[in-house]
Structure 1
Amino acid sequence: MTRPLASATPITPRALNRATLARQLLLARHRWSPLKALRHLMGLQAQAPEPPYLALLARLEGFEPAQLTRLLERTTVVRMAALRSTLHLIPADEALSLRGLLQPMMKRVLQASRGRLLDGLDLDVVAAAAQRLLRSQPLTHGQLGTALQRLWPERDADALATAARNLLPLAHLPPAGCWGCHARPQLEIHEAGAADHTLGVDALVLRYLQAFGPARPQDMALWCGLTQLGASFERLSPRLIRLVDEAGQEHFDLPRAPRPAPDTAAPPRLLGPWDALLLSYADRRRFLREVHRRSVFTNNGIVRPTAWVDGRVAGTWALLDGDKTARIEVSALEPLSQPDRSALTLEAQRLLHAVHPQKRHEIRIGRGDA
């Protein structure tokens, strides 16, 4: 950790919380286009089709799921492996620049997960072979692995396809990534967009702070998967301010970025699974009590949907979709006041109306395991 300078400004936990929520568009819904929000947030986690839609419903006023579906169908937004080597929705004209910057991390993750199965292979040759196959026609991950295995019969098909995934900018063709579509995605090589440009680490740091600050290099490393970011933060330090929290941890921030008053109201929100807000800080105490961590982060890598009250995680929730009825069940992790329960109920009604307008809606709020 960087030693806090004498010039660092103290920041309270609540002020740090409100600053974070302001950057994440969670203190008030914004009248932004989905594409503008995607740019600001540097993509949206898309391990499953639904989380990006839920992220925008929580953050944007007037957002309709069909808007994001149209962006995917027009390939204005693409779904591909990016931050942390996990699937994200990214503006198409920024996808190659971001992937290029993240490529060292993508190779490191590949080595950690499939290195033994790929040992001795020239991965550049594998990537070139995959590129030729995909320029001929789109293929699923399984089909690509099978085709590559014909060239390397002694190798594992899934490992070969994973090598292509991590070495090449492979986009999922719609309807993959659209709400409710869980079919195996067809893959194609994403071509450069008109606005694609070289993105440097320093530029990425500034954009990260705009959407996730105040933050530390350790936080950004968790967000994107890159390492050794401290040098970039220090290099940029003349353009940044330093804030020190009650634990003595130093946070960097942009001088003109919003840092609302600590008593600013934070309305209840329902965030979807794997929301980036929960995946972008090494120290999540600014919005999540440690006693609740295991209720949100499971042992098998799931990050549950979360219910937020007064800017903090207060519960988890699930969407149960029946033939005629759609129900949201909230499991509170701590006691909720009647006004908070009523506000969460309104938030749940809003969500159900957006994603299942034709069905009957039910909402249940109960006490979960703390």
Structure 2
Amino acid sequence: MTVLDQRALNRATLARQMLLDRADLPVADAVAHLCGLQAQEPQEPYVGLWSRLRAFDPAVLSDLLVRRRLVRTHLMRRTVHLLAADDVLAWRTRHDAMLRQRVLGVYRGEFDGVDLDELAAAAREVLADGEPRTNAEIVSVLAARWPDPDRRALGEIVLALVPTVQAPPRGLWRTTAGVRTVALARWLGSDADPAGPDGDDPPGRALVRRYLAAFGPAASADLRAWCGLAGLPAAVAAVRDELVAFRDARGRTLLDLPGAPRPDPDTPAPIRFLPAFDNAVLGYHDRSRIIDDAHRNLSVAGARFVLVDGRVAATWTVDEGVVVVTPLRAFTRAERTAAAEEGAALASFLSEGENHRVRVAAG
């Protein structure tokens, strides 16, 4: 079985993630290809798509949210993602048990004695008219009937029990807005597709294929780490004959789609700026293909990364309009120049052309 080293896996990830070459895809198609972008920080997906698409227009993404072709909802790993509406409808039911279990795991004992089916029915009634509501508004109604659970816990279990989306203006370009929740069925005009039994799980099989198209080659543990679902062995087994297999340097079996891009490991990789919580990093159990273990904890702490030669080599922030790059290792002169050039382009994007200010700190 062919062994793929870390660099080969890195270049495959960059190619699938549109980070090796910016793509000429429409915004909606790019979001669908990526299986969504993590989006608990509402403006971060704009940077993620700017780094991946040529001539990305943030107004297009805002318009797709307003027209309900893209939605913001809790899904993979119980985190907020920006997803294609069709994918949410196809995948949400598959994630129901995981979403519920994760909330119950965080708030142990809060819902002892609570009939969760009754709570879900009551929450659906609160949201039945399709009007977006704040979490406090939803919880205030439910707390009259269930006064014992912590109010934050009550709000979070509602999002696990009832498919919902976060309505605009939250998530629109350069807009600050609080979370207002609306029922998915009312927002999209359709209920989420029901999940089939374990032996007949087309959404699960589709999820495996789609993950590999955007993240492969990958191990089953990587798939679980990305979506948060433990119950996909049957789906993987069902598509196993369609896939090709490799091994990594640790001896793990990696699966992939036969015709998916696996570039030459020596393919040059340009500087790329990633937003907070980007799935190019978080979408794996073994993240060593893109980030050193010494910096792994930064990926869950909300750090924004700069890729140099395809690997996390710096973090970046914005300070009074200036893009500030902080290297995690020593940069060569050429790397500093390239980081400054791409950082200036990012500053222009974020300010809509008002400035190109960037500062690369000493490494």
Q: Same fold (TM over 0.5)?
A: yes
Q: In the alignment, what sits opposite 1:252?
A: 255
Counterpart among 219, 222, 227 of residue 224 in structure 1: 227
Q: CA deviation at 1:145?
A: 0.9
Q: Which residue number in structure 2 is paired with residue 263 of structure 1?
A: 266
Aligned residues: 353
Counterpart in 1 of 2:59? 66
Which residue number in structure 2 is paired with residue 293 of structure 1?
296
The residue number in structure 2 matching 1:3 is none
Cα deviation, 1:3-40, whole Å, max 9, x if unaligned, reads xxxxx222122111111111111110001111000110
Unaligned runs of 5+ in 1: 1-7
Number of the residue aligned with 1:328? 323
Equivalent residue for 2:159, pick from 165, 181, 186: 165
- The question of 1:86 aligning with 2:79 is answered yes
CA–CA separation in structure 1 for the residues paired with 2:123 and 2:231: 31
User: AA paired with 1:327?
Assistant: V
From 42, 46, 49, give the equivalent of 1:53: 46
What's the offset of the Cα at 1:231?
4.0
Q: Using the alignment, how far apart are the partners of 2:37 and 2:276 within structure 1?
A: 11
Contact 2:35 2:83 in 1 (8 A): yes
Q: Given that residues 348 and 355 in structure 2 are in contact (C-alpha distance below 8 angstroms), is that contact kept between their aligned partners in structure 1?
A: no
Q: Shift of the alpha carbon at 1:114?
A: 2.3
Asked if structure 1 preserves the Cα contact closer than 8 Å seen for 2:73 and 2:166, the reply is yes
Between 281-290 and 307-316, report the one with greater CA deviation. 281-290
What SS class does the counterpart of residue 68 from structure 2 fall into? coil
Q: Distance in 2 between matches of 1:281 and 1:337?
A: 29
Conserved 8 A contact 2:91-2:193: no
Letter aligned with residue 348 of structure 2: H
Offset at 1:343? 1.4
Give the structure 2 partner of residue 302 of structure 1.
301
What TM-score, normalized by structure 2, do the two folds share? 0.93
CA contact (8 A) 1:333 1:367 kept: no
For 1:293 and 1:158, how far apart are their aligned partners in 2?
29
| Higher mean C-alpha displacement, 227-236 vs 70-79 | 227-236
Contact (CA 8 Å) 2:103, 2:157: kept in 1 or not?
yes
For residues 228-249 of structure 1, the C-alpha deviation after alignment (integer angstroms, 9 at most, x for no partner) is: 4344323322111111122212
Matched, 1:114 2:114: no
Measured against aligned partners, the alpha-carbon deviations of 1:208-262 in whole angstroms (never above 9, x if no partner) come to 0000000011001110000143443233221111111222121101110010111
Which position in structure 2 is the counterpart of 1:32? 25
CA distance 1:131–1:228, change in 2 (3 Å): closer
| Alpha carbons 1:93, 1:195 under 8 Å: kept | no
- Match for residue 184 of structure 1 among 172, 178, 183: 178
Q: Is 1:365 matched with 2:360?
A: yes
Question: Kindly tell me: are residues 194 and 184 of structure 1, through their superposed partners in 2, closer, same or farther at Cα, counting changes over 3 Å?
Answer: closer
Give, as a single letter, the amino acid of the residue that structure 2 aligns with 1:334: R
User: Partners of 2:289 and 2:41 in 1: how far apart?
Assistant: 26
Q: Kindly state the Cα deviation for residue 193 of structure 1 after the two structures are TM-superposed.
A: 5.6
What is the RMSD computed on CA atoms of the aligned residues?
1.8
- 1:196 CA drift (Å): 6.9
> What is the CA–CA distance in structure 2 between the aligned matches of 1:291 and 1:44, rounded to whole Å?
25
Residues 265-323 of structure 1, C-alpha deviation per residue, up to 9 Å, x if partnerless? 111100000001111111111111122324x23xxx42310001111011111022x3x
CA distance in 1, matches of 2:265, 2:153: 49
Alignment-mate amino acid for residue 7 of structure 2: R
Native 8 Å contact 1:93 1:193 kept in 2: no
TM-score by length of 1: 0.91
Contact 2:326–2:362 (CA<8 Å) still a contact in 1?
yes
Cα distance in 1 for partners of 2:65, 2:288 equals 35
* Structure 2 CA distance for partners of 1:335 and 1:248, relative to 1, 3 Å: same
Deviation of 1:342 after TM superposition, in Å, equals 1.5
Inter-CA distance 247–156: structure 2 relative to 1 (3 Å threshold)? closer
CA contact under 8 A between 2:48 and 2:278: conserved in structure 1?
Answer: yes
Structure 2 contact 93–192 (Cα < 8 Å) conserved: no
Matched residue SS, 1:331: strand
Q: How far apart are 1:95 and its partner, in Å?
A: 1.3
Could you tell me how far apart the structure 2 residues matched to 1:106 and 1:208 are?
Answer: 19
Q: Is the 8 A contact 1:94 1:195 kept in 2?
A: no
Structure 2: how far apart are the matches of 1:293 and 1:161? 31
Task: In structure 2, list runs of 5 or more residues that go unmatched.
Answer: 195-201
The one-letter code sitting in structure 1 at the alignment partner of 2:316 is W
Change (3 A) 1:55 1:277: same
What corresponds to 1:19 in structure 2?
12
Pairing 1:156–2:159 present: no
